[in-house]
Amino acid sequence: MDLNPFRFCSGLKFLGYFMIILVFALIAISYDAVIVLTCGPHLLHGGFKSFLSFLVLTLFHLLLFLLVWSYFMVVFRDPGAVPANWRVLPDQNVEQENFVSSSSLAADDNSAMASSSDGIEKRSAPGYCSRCQNGKPPRCHHCSVCERCVLKMDHHCIWVVNCVGARNYKFFLLFVLYTFLETLMDTLVLLPGFINFFQQANHHSSSPGKLAITFLAFVLNLAFALSLLCFVVMHISLLLSNTTSVEVHEKKKGMQWKYDLGWKKNIEQVFGTEKLMWPFPLLSKQDLEKVPALDGLNFPTRSDVNV
C-alpha cells in the first residue's frame, strides 16, 4: 500500500491559529504606522493635508471594518458538509468527463487513493468517498486537513483555519479583496515616510521606534499587496469561469466547462443575485433559496441555462 503523506496534514491545523495572530499583528502595526504616526498628527493642522488625512482615516477604517468582518465570516462559517447518508440519485449524473484522467475515476471503491500536491485526497469512485463512507456530491472533495468532504471545495486555507467551499467562498473573496485594497492604501500612505526613512535616521529627527514601525509597516504592507495582487487576479479569473482551484487541474483542455454559464451568471453562483449585497459578507435568505449553488449540493450546467 502506497504511503499517503496527506494523512498527516490534520496535524498542521494548529499552524492556522498562529496565522490568525499574524493577521491581527499586521493590522495593529499598520494602524499604528498609518493612523497614529502618519495621519493623526496632520488632522488638527488644517488645510489640504488635514483633509487628505481625514479621507485616509475614513477609508482605512471602512476597509478595516469590511476586512475584519469578512475574515470572521470565512473563519467561522462552515464551507459546507455532505449530509449524512447522502447518495447519488438515479437521475443524477456524476460525470467522469469533467476530470482530466478517467483512470483516477475507476469504479472500484476499494482501489488505491490518489493524492494531489495541495492535500486533497481523491477517491477513485465517482459519487462516493470511501474514507467518509458517504456519498460525494458534484464538485465535492475530501480535505485531508479537515478530514471530511467539503462541498465545492476550493482549497484549505491556513490563514483562516478553515476550508474554502460553497458556503464561504464569497466571504473569502471579499476578505482577499479588502485586504489587498487595505495593504495597497497603507503602502501608498507610508511611501513618503519610507523614502525619508534613511534621511531621518541620519539626522535623528524622529525617534528610532517611530522609524522602525514605519519601515516595518511599509515593507509588510508592500509584500502583502504584491502577493495578494496575484491571488486576486487568479480568483477573479476562477470566479468568471465558475471554476475552483481544484477544478483547474481536472478540466480537460480544449473542452467547454459545463459549469461555465457566462460571467454574469457565474458571479451570481457565488455572490447571489442581489447586487447591493455583493460588497458585504452576507447572503440573503432569498438568494440562499433561489441559487442552489450557494448550498453546494446542486449546480446548474450549460445544458440547463441559456448562455
- CA distances in angstroms from 167 to 14, 52, 76, 233, listed in the order given: 23, 39, 11, 21
- Please write the tens of the pLDDT for every residue from 266-277: 999 999 999 999
pLDDT, average across residues 196-201? 64
Average pLDDT in the chain: 81
Stretch 128-148: mean pLDDT: 88
pLDDT tens digits for 10-38?
555 666 678 888 889 999 999 999 999 88
**278-305: buried (b, 16+ CB within 10 Å) or exposed (e) per residue?**
eeebbbeeebeeebebbbbbebbbeeee
Q: Closest by alpha carbon to 43, among 18, 62, 67, 60?
A: 60
Is the separation of the CB atoms in 218 and 226 below 8 Å? Answer: no
CA dihedral 237, 246, 175, 186 (to 10 degrees): -70
Percent of all residues in the chain with a pLDDT value above 70, rounded to a whole number: 76
Global pTM? 0.82
Q: Evaluate if residue 198 carries a pLDDT over 80.
A: no
Nearest C-alpha neighbor of 286 from the set 302, 275, 297, 299? 275
Cell 462541498 appears where? 151
Which grid cell is 17? 491559529
90: pLDDT confidence band, cut at 50, 70 and 90? low
Strand 120-122 vs strand 141-143: parallel, antiparallel, or unpaired?
antiparallel
Please answer whether residues 53 and 60 qualify as being in contact, where contact means their C-beta atoms are separated by less than 8 angstroms.
Answer: no
The rounded distance, in Å, linking the Cα atoms of 227 and 225 is 6
Active site residues: 157
**pLDDT mean over 105-114:** 34
What is the longest distance spanned by two Cα atoms in the chain?
78
- How far is residue 35's CA from residue 180's CA, in Å, rounded to a whole number? 18
pLDDT for res 41: 84
Overall average pLDDT of the 91-109 stretch: 38
157 pLDDT higher than 70: yes
**Confidence class of residue 105 from pLDDT cuts 50, 70 and 90?**
very low
